[in-house]
């Protein structure tokens, strides 16, 4: 089997220096500020916190109720070498020549660098705003991959997985078609102004020695898009929407402690971009895209405990990013939009040679990011949009359960089915702002297949359907109870080259 495999990422007025006290994120802010001795205050370069920033909300909570009653549409206020579990862990004894190996890997690296720019495409996701799985093969089994590495995108789920793969290069493309809508004050809004999205993915794995392996994964972490075809009267006078894309570039190093146990680490270099429009009532003009960059790290362990049981553990730190300066009046902490930490555990069970059952449980800590987790409430309402404790989208942490079965009826073919469930990030009393980000789907079914051909090539396809889910607004601050609805179809294909 191993021999066959081997063959085979303003219009705002000028700001004045403003003092500030001890608030969330202060330590990070100090890295970008200086003390003005004449003004006796701390000064930030472009995204400073202003105590005197004008509120974008009505002066009193009752104004929200009043505005809704006057305007039934809303109110003017602020918002995955296929390597099955039975894979051999013995390094190849018949190494290719140094010259040939070098040329092959140069081709692989060149392909990665040449395609990386394409990976900054539009990304739509379904475990909150995170993708439900990483790598085309993992996406066919509900996104499970922490203990079941299948292709060179495995480090996106658990960097230790690379240690159990043969050298390979994978290039894939995923197509999304989400259906999102909202209603507010009896008015229905269609958020499908843009209907089609594409997400490239690139993975590469190369053994450095008997114990060390290098990998590189370039993939979309997640994102969100809405493009309402008509203006939302509560938000502004032009059609409203947002577009968030997140691209991860993750070089990976793994160390195999023994034949059955490995550890991995993957520094994450992140790129994200965002734009919002149709939010004139929030005091936010259409600024176009703004860019943000960040760093984080993912670590992991994979252990084959028996011939039929493998386990995996992984943790990703928060990805600390630069601010969206053009949207410092929208996101809490003056445009800060860090990417939340997450952790997961997985098992892969092989009851018979041709079958592998995989199960992952993941926790995504959305509530730790103020721009995402802060509620729209009386307290945040008083602080104003963009303040450290200003309103956010009110998201809760998400627990995702990913499970599936891979079945190999013949040597050349693997069939997959899976299911993914995630808890609801959006509470009923936080639906108003989430008209812009109605990520309410919870149940996904998936299917996929891999066909191996021409000795060292394989082609993989998958399909996933996220069932329609609705969250009906109730108890929103100011009485602005929006109803949110979303479903999604996803199709992907990838080509794998066994090096």
pLDDT digit string (tens) for 177-186?
999 999 999 9
- The confidence score (pLDDT) of residue 82 equals 37
- Name which of 417, 397, 413 is nearest 462 in CA terms: 417
Paired with 36 in beta bridges are 41
Angstrom distance (rounded) from CA 290 to CA 326: 6
- The confidence score (pLDDT) of residue 119 equals 47
Q: Most confidently modeled of 25-29, 120-124, 463-467? A: 463-467
- The confidence score (pLDDT) of residue 297 equals 98
Judged by DSSP in three states, 350 sits in: strand
Per-residue pLDDT band for 335 (boundaries 50, 70, 90) equals very high
Chain segment 282-296, per-residue pLDDT in tens: 999 999 999 999 999
- The confidence score (pLDDT) of residue 478 equals 85
- The confidence score (pLDDT) of residue 90 equals 38
Between the CA of residue 143 and those of 102, 107, 238, 254, what are the distances in Å?
33, 29, 38, 22
* pTM for the structure as a whole: 0.80
Average pLDDT over residues 431-449: 97
Angstrom distance (rounded) from CA 221 to CA 215: 17
Range of weakest confidence among 94-103, 169-178, 262-271, 350-359:
94-103
Angstrom distance (rounded) from CA 402 to CA 261: 23
Paired with 343 in beta bridges are 315, 363
Residue 121 confidence (pLDDT) above 70:
no
pLDDT, mean over the chain: 82
Angstrom distance (rounded) from CA 483 to CA 260: 50
The count of domains in the chain is 1
Angstrom distance (rounded) from CA 391 to CA 481: 16
Range of weakest confidence among 20-29, 120-129, 229-238, 263-272:
20-29
Long-range contacts of 187-192 (CB under 8 A, 24+ apart): 187/72, 187/73, 187/74, 187/233, 189/228, 189/229, 189/230, 189/232, 189/435, 190/228, 190/229, 190/230, 191/226, 191/227, 191/228, 191/229, 191/241, 191/438, 192/227, 192/229
Angstrom distance (rounded) from CA 174 to CA 170: 13
Average pLDDT over residues 357-381: 95
Average pLDDT over residues 288-312: 98
Average pLDDT over residues 240-249: 97
More confident residue, 165 or 77: 165
Residue 428 confidence (pLDDT) above 50:
yes
Enclosing domain of residue 34: 2-498
- Token output for 225: 């898009």
- CATH code where residue 251 lies: 2.40.160.60
Residue 311 confidence (pLDDT) above 70:
yes
Average pLDDT over residues 181-202: 94
- The confidence score (pLDDT) of residue 286 equals 92
Judged by DSSP in three states, 366 sits in: helix
Among residues of the chain, what percentage have pLDDT more than 90? 72
Angstrom distance (rounded) from CA 219 to CA 145: 15
Residues ≥6 apart with Cβ < 8 Å to 320: 28, 294, 295, 296, 338
């Amino acid at each position: 089997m191993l021999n066959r495999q081997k063959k085979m990422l303003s219009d705002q007025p000028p700001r004045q220096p403003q003092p500030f006290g001890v608030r969330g994120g202060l330590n990070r802010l100090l890295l970008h500020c200086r003390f003005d001795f004449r003004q006796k205050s701390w000064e930030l370069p472009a995204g400073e916190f202003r105590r005197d920033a004008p509120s974008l909300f009505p002066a009193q909570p009752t104004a929200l109720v009043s505005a809704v009653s006057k305007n039934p549409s809303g109110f003017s206020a602020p918002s995955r070498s296929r390597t099955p579990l039975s894979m051999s862990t013995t390094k190849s004894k018949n190494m290719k020549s140094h010259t040939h190996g070098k040329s092959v890997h140069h081709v692989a690296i060149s392909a990665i660098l040449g395609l990386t720019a394409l990976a900054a495409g539009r990304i739509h996701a379904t475990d909150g705003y995170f993708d439900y799985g990483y790598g085309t093969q993992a996406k066919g089994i509900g996104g499970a991959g922490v203990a079941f590495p299948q292709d060179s995108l495995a480090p996106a789920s658990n960097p230790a997985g690379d240690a159990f793969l043969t050298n390979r290069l994978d290039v894939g493309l995923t197509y999304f078609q989400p259906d999102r809508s909202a209603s507010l004050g009896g008015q229905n809004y269609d958020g499908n102004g843009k209907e089609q999205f594409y997400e490239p993915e690139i993975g590469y794995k190369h053994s450095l020695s008997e114990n060390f392996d290098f990998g590189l994964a370039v993939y979309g972490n997640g994102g969100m898009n809405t493009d309402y075809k008509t203006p939302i009267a509560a938000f502004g006078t032009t059609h409203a929407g947002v577009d968030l894309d997140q691209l991860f570039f993750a070089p990976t190093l793994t160390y195999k402690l023994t034949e059955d146990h490995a550890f991995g680490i993957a520094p994450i270099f992140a790129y994200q971009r965002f734009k919002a429009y149709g939010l004139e009532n929030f005091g936010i003009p259409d600024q176009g895209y703004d860019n943000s960059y960040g760093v984080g790290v993912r670590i992991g362990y994979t252990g084959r405990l028996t011939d039929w049981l493998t386990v995996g553990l992984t943790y990703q730190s928060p990805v600390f990013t630069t601010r969206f300066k053009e949207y410092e009046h929208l996101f809490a902490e003056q445009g800060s939009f860090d990417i939340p930490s997450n952790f997961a555990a997985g098992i892969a069970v092989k009851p018979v040679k041709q079958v592998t059952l995989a199960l992952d449980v993941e926790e995504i800590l959305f509530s730790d990011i103020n721009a995402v987790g802060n509620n729209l409430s009386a307290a945040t309402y008083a602080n104003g949009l963009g303040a450290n404790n200003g309103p956010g989208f009110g998201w809760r942490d998400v627990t995702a359960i990913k499970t599936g079965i891979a079945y190999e009826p013949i040597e050349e073919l693997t069939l997959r089915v899976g299911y993914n469930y995630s808890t609801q990030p959006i509470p009923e009393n936080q639906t108003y702002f989430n008209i812009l980000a109605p990520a309410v789907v919870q149940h996904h079914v998936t299917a996929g297949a891999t066909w191996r051909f021409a000795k060292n090539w394989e082609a993989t396809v998958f399909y996933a359907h996220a069932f329609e889910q609705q969250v009906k607004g109730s108890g929103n601050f100011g009485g602005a109870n929006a109803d949110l609805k979303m479903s999604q179809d996803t199709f992907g294909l990838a080509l794998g080259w066994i090096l």
